[in-house]
Amino acid sequence: MHPRVDIARTQTPTRSIATTGSHATSPLARTLLNLDSPMRLTTLPTLLAGITTLAAACVGEVGGSRKPGPRDPVTTTTDTVCAKVEKDVIIRTAADMTALPKTGCYDLYGKLTLQGSAVTSLAGLNGLNSVNELDLDHTSLTAIDTQRPVGIYGKLTVTGNTKLTNLKQLSFETASTGILIDGNTVLATLEPIGLDQPKLEEVDGDIAITGNPALISVPLGHVAKVTGSLTVSGDTQLKLIDLSSLATTGSVDIADNTQLMSLTGLPATTITGDLAIRNNAALATLGTMSALYRVTGNLTIDGNAALTNLSSFTTTLKFVDLALAITNNAKLTDLGALKHLSLVGGITITGNQSLVTCRAIEIDRCVQHPTAAVISNNNTSNCNWQCN
């Protein structure tokens, strides 16, 4: 068995800080500052101005780490520098919003939680420009009706909002630290995930999009890296999941999406964890996985009634560290190139009524595996098995 692959994130290097007196003044510095001779007063303002300009260039623009504020209504040429509010904020009633800034724009360097059915509008957030994290928890919101678009610099959680139809006005301004979209009865679109500008390209955490019965698509087409797991399940009207840029990911679980017809791409070479495609009744194709080389956990294809083949798995796939389970796929006739695997931890191929048994036997006979294979209740028509 091959060991799991751990992804080590390089720590940001820490700059050493010079203590007082640790460096002698260089001759050049003494010359520039003219420390050994009296300075003419007429040159002092010029020198100080130069030093001020240099210092400003080193520090950077104040507020430049966040999205620009609104345009000045008079000049219309300069973006406003927003006020900085450093605290977590919980809003349960409209009265809770009165403690927020009433004029100008502001960036919330903390978590904003909007919680409970008494929250029906976000207009009282006034000039909110951005947040670290945003949590919409069982509110009565119908839309994100903030006065201006709100940038997110961390995690987005949207759970149990039974009247919320869309997430317009929200955007990820940098890599997200996690996304949870769960149990939103009428939510049909996921705008901040699929925006072309700014693009969401990395999630340093988990993505879970679950139990949203009106959701039509999961537009993850710009996301190239997910350091945690990706779960899309129980979205009963979901038609499409776009994974066309996902080159790095942890476990992937696509399950119980009854209307899902296709997956668009998965260019990852390694899935660090499990890959499970389960109980998607309308799923006819798994999309392209031609770069996939290794699954460090289990590979499970189970209960997909419309799935006819596993041609997405090419000869590039060599290792499944734990179990390979192909079960209860009523129309499945072809196992792709799985017999060309080099090593699997275990094999279970059962309950695939249309799959001729010798196709399953090929994986047992042609692939190295340390345990006995379980092969049963497939199509028992006569055929020959081969490893080429």
Give the three-state DSSP class for 88.
Answer: coil
pLDDT recorded at residue 12: 37
- Segment 220-244 shows an average pLDDT of 97
Domain boundaries defined on the chain: 62-200
pLDDT recorded at residue 49: 42
- Segment 215-232 shows an average pLDDT of 98
* Residues 347 and 329 sit within 8 Å (Cβ to Cβ): no
pLDDT recorded at residue 369: 97
Place of tokens 């006995």: 372
Give which of 244, 141, 237, 144 is closest to 188, Cα–Cα.
237
**Of 42-46, 126-130, 133-137, 293-297, where does mean pLDDT reach its minimum?**
42-46
Amino acid at the residue 269? T
Task: Quote the percentage of the chain above a pLDDT of 70.
Answer: 81
> For residue 29, is pLDDT > 70?
no
> For residue 8, is pLDDT > 90?
no
> For residue 165, is pLDDT > 80?
yes
Give the three-state DSSP class for 334.
Answer: strand
Give which of 138, 139, 132, 96 is closest to 111, Cα–Cα.
132
pLDDT recorded at residue 280: 98
> For residue 114, is pLDDT > 80?
yes
pLDDT recorded at residue 265: 86
For residue 63, report the phi and psi dihedrals to the nearest 5 degrees: 80, 5
Q: Considering the chain, what is the average pLDDT of its residues?
A: 86
pLDDT recorded at residue 36: 39
* Residues 261 and 238 sit within 8 Å (Cβ to Cβ): no
| E strand map for 240-361 | 240-242, 249-255, 262-264, 270-278, 294-295, 299-302, 319-327, 343-350
pLDDT recorded at residue 372: 96
Q: Which are the contacts of 363, defined by CB distance < 8 A and separation ≥ 6?
A: 324, 335, 338, 339, 341, 344, 347, 349, 373
Helix-strand-coil split of the chain, %, nearest 5 = 15, 30, 55
Q: How far apart are CA 373 and CA 367, in angstroms?
A: 11
Task: Quote the percentage of the chain above a pLDDT of 90.
Answer: 77
